[in-house]
């Protein structure tokens, strides 16, 4: 089942923990992969408004090429050292997304404890 997630700002355009929002809304499919599942868990913890929705194909904006979750850094396929290096160079949204994916996946304390230090 997919969920329609509403950003705190209804006009928000951009990515939050690897999920792309348009006009303050995004669709998350927790069955797609660990990254989407972790993002949904992040949105739940952060008290984002969420509604279960029927599956409908999303149409990309004309002239845009949305980032695929396949292109996102997946900590569950990387070593601790690789994840820590990625976190050191990542912005706050990417750090939150990667830490959420790690917590939902391997949950290695060496990595997840970095979220406690932010």
Q: Which pLDDT tens digit goes with each residue over 83-100? A: 898 888 888 888 888 888
pLDDT band at residue 1 under the 50/70/90 scheme: confident
Q: Round to whole Å and give the CA distance between 95 and 27.
A: 20
- Does residue 44 contact residue 30 with C-beta atoms inside 8 Å? no
| DSSP labels, the chain | -EEEEE-SSTT--EEETTEEEBTTEEEE-TTT-HHHHHHHHHHHHTT-EEEEE---PPPPPTT--PPPGGGS--GGGS-HHHHHHHHHHS-HHHHHHHHHHHHHTT--HHHHHHHHT-
The tokens describing 81, both together, are 């050292």
Q: Which pLDDT tens digit goes with each residue over 6-40? A: 998 889 999 999 899 998 899 998 888 888 899 99
pTM, two decimals, is 0.47
Mean pLDDT of all residues belonging to the chain: 83
* pLDDT for the residue numbered 42: 93
- Does residue 5 contact residue 49 with C-beta atoms inside 8 Å? yes
């Amino acid at each position: 089942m997919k969920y329609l997630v509403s950003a705190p700002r209804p006009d928000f355009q951009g990515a939050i923990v690897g999920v792309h929002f348009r006009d303050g809304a995004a669709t998350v499919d927790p069955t797609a992969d660990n990254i989407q599942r972790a993002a949904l868990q992040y949105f739940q913890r952060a008290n984002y408004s969420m509604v279960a929705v029927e599956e409908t194909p999303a149409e990309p904006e004309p002239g845009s090429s949305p980032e695929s979750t396949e292109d996102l850094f997946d900590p569950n396929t990387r070593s601790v050292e690789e994840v820590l290096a990625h976190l050191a160079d990542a912005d706050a949204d990417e750090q939150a997304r990667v830490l959420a994916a790690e917590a939902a996946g391997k949950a290695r304390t060496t990595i997840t404890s970095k979220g406690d230090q932010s």
